[in-house]
Amino acid sequence: MMDKTIFQKIIDKEMPSTVIYEDELCIAIEDIAPAAPIHILLISKTLISKISDSRKEHQYLLGHLLLKVGDISRQLGIEDSFNVIINNGKKAGMTVPHLHIHIMSGKKFSFTS
Ligand code: AMP
Assess whether the C-beta atom of 19 lies below 6 angstroms from ligand 1: no
Examine residue 24 and state whether it is found in any structural domain, yes or no.
Answer: yes
Number of other residues whose CB lies within 10 A of the CB of residue 5: 17
Is the CB of residue 6 below 6 angstroms from any atom belonging to ligand 1? Answer: yes
Stated pTM of the model: 0.97
- Among 41, 100, 107, which is best to mutate for testing ligand 1, by the most ligand atoms less than 8 A from CB? 41
> Over 70: is that where the pLDDT of 34 sits?
yes
Predicted confidence (pLDDT) per residue in 8-19, tens digit? 999 999 999 999
Q: Is residue 72 assigned to a domain?
A: yes
pLDDT, tens digit (0-9, with 9 covering 90-100), for 87-100: 999 999 999 999 99
Long-range contact list for 64-69, CB < 8 A, 24+ apart? 64/25, 64/26, 65/25, 65/26, 65/101, 68/21, 68/23, 68/26, 68/28, 68/42, 69/42, 69/101, 69/103
Asked, for residue 110, whether it belongs to a domain, the answer is no
User: Which residues face 27 on adjacent strands?
Assistant: 22, 43
- 113 falls in which pLDDT band (50, 70, 90)? confident
Look at strands 83-85 and 38-44 and give their pairing. Answer: unpaired
> What pLDDT score was predicted for residue 1?
66
Q: Which CATH number do you get for residue 11?
A: 3.30.428.10
Measured in angstroms, how far is the CA atom of residue 31 from the centroid of ligand 1?
Answer: 6
Structural domain that includes position 18: 6-105
Domain membership flag for residue 112: no
Please work out whether the CB of residue 73 comes within 6 Å of at least one atom of ligand 1: no
Is 113 within a domain? no
Q: Is residue 1, in this structure, part of any structural domain at all?
A: no
Q: How many domains, the chain?
A: 1
Q: Which residues carry out catalysis?
A: 100
Q: Domain for residue 48, yes or no? A: yes
- Tell me whether residue 16 is in a domain: yes
